[in-house]
Each structure stands twice: as C-alpha cells, then as structure tokens.
Chains A and B, each alone.
Chain A
C-alpha cells in the first residue's frame, strides 16, 4: 500500500493532535473527576452538567461554541493572541483543543468511577501514618485509581482520533494544519478520483483503532492480575 503525501500528513497530524489533546486533558480530567467524586460544593451539579455537555450536544454546536470563544474576536481567543501570541483558530492546536473538549466527558467518567471505588479508609490510614493530604493523593489515591485513569486515557485518545464535527466547525479543513484522518477521508470522498485514497486512510484508521483496542486489552489483563491485590 503506497501512502500519498496527503495521507501520510493526515495520519501524522492525527496522531500529533490526539497525543497533545490527551496529554493536556489528562491532568484536567483527573482534577475534575476527583472534585466530582470527593468534594461537596455549591454548583457541583452545574459543573457536572457542563463537563458532560459535549457528550450530548451535536459536535457542530461544540465547534461553534469554541469558535465564538477562541475565534480572533472571541474573549479567550483575543486574550491568548494579545498576551501569549498564541493563535488557536485554524491551527492544529485548535484541532487538539476541539478533540480535548469532546473527549473530556469520557475521560472524567472513567476516572471518576475509580475514584469512587478507591477505598477512603485507606486514605485515613495513610494520614495516621504521617502522610499529608497531597502525599496521600499521590501515594494512595492515584495508584488505587490507576485502572480508571489508564482506561480513560485510552478511551480519550481513541475519541480524539475520531473527532470530526467540532474540529471541522472550529478550525476548518486545512491540509497539513487541521486536516486530521477523518477530515481527510471526508475530503477524498468528495473528490471524483479520491476513493482509493479514502480507502487507504480508512484502512489506516482501522489499524490504529485495532492497535488502541489491543493495547487497552493488554493493559486490562495486566491490571486484572494486579487487581487481585486490590481485594
């Protein structure tokens, strides 16, 4: 199978976008999951809803919302441009942001479940052994929640790769900059002689998806072996 320039670029760009999207989302998702699992505060219900919105809204709406916020005239977009010199819109960073927002609910849900399951009595025991709160979190809570964190990461990464609607609305479909695999496939299908290329990208998508699933399966096996210790 010969990969054309466009196809190779789209594949590499997709991996780059998904990688950065996942990396940025991970700490935020862990924090949000911990907040929603362990803390009571006013507005918790609202935060929960906002985090889950991308799951239920049409992706186009999310993309349009990002456009309004991060566009050159948007509040956040103009601030970023003015003070940090960062342009989000129509760049791969925008594509990563769109993926991150779309993947966040899946991330948070997976991690939150394992925070819920992590035994808080072990955290009390750790404090009585001299561990301050932050160290309890790092040395007890996070390791106990690791299965959920890994599952969430794989899920989030896969969701980033497949992101289409929000991305094309927010950062458009620019080859080499924002044209990820799904967007490239869509473009090729529209072209009169693009079917072969679309097929090749489809195969690549399937291979990457399989890879992620196999990885998830292996991690799961490893966790289950380790999980015997959890009981």
Chain B
C-alpha cells in the first residue's frame, strides 16, 4: 500500500444479491460514488471528494481482498465468511440478506435420526462449514463440492443430503427436499482488515457507528 492508499478508504462489495442492499446502507450514511452499480464495467469506483474507493468483486473474493488489505473493509455474507475462514475483523451484523445454513434431504427417503446419515454423501458449496458441523456431531461424511444447483444432488442420486443456504425454502419444496438440521444463521457482515482497522481507526469506527445506527433504526 502506498501513501495514496493510506489516504483512501477502500470498500469491497460483492456482486449480486447483497450488492444493492449494501450500497443502499452505505448511501444512507453518506458513503457513495457516482456510477456505483454492480453492472458497472469499471471495477473501481472512486469518490474523490470523500476519498472513498469501492471495489466490486465476486462474492467469495471479498474476504480475500480484505484479509490481504487490498480493501480496508467489506460486506460479506456470514456463510461465505465462515467458509473462507479468513483472518479478518467482524465489525457489525448488517441484518441484510437474511438466510440460514442447513442440511436438507430428499422428502421420500427421509431417515429417522441424524446419525442415520453417517458415512453418506453430502453435496455442498460449503465443504468446510459442512465438515465442521458433521464433525461436531461425531459424523464422518463424504463431501462433494458443487458450484450451484445444489438441490440436484439428492434428486439425481449424487448424494444423500445437501448443506446449503436457504432463504424462504421455496427451492427446497419445489425439488421435494425437506430441511433436516439447522446449522447457523447467516446475514451480511461488515468486515475489516486487522491492520486497516488500527491504522485507519478513526474513519472505520465512525463508519461502523453510523451503520450501526441505520441498522438499529431499521429494526
């Protein structure tokens, strides 16, 4: 980081679902920039007068940018954060993009106890979270990493269960799956690089406080 980076506050936002809500929250506290959109072709959008830089990245990359200090702070779903196991500071629950992590199984082949699934296959986008969950239950599983349409797993006989995030449960129902075990709540979090948090403390703590007020008043 150069002296220039010291001057700017760099904020990483993920493309997709979370982007709009996060950008709106930042706008409410006066942090925005002209042309800030996840459809933008520009990857860095700067607000010169306020010395803010937004970088827009793929969801899973936000914790990476923040851990390395390429971005000072970022917004990311707790699910992605848990899966990445990155060493970053978690500053605030933004209460947006509410969903939860769970294990689901095929309705027709539902087994009686969780332990009945021991040593079976799990299809998931979150192999680390899934492994932590099943390990805590003393279960050894076979994890099959998929990158999308996880629900397909049990339907086509790829796996006995899935571990995924669910918001309303519509996709599960439409695919004859049923939620079997709750794993963790996941909402979007404000995260910070550990050195940026110290070196740019005044700006980051002020921003966090302002966001906290907006989040609390929305409750």
Whether both chains belong to one complex is answered with no
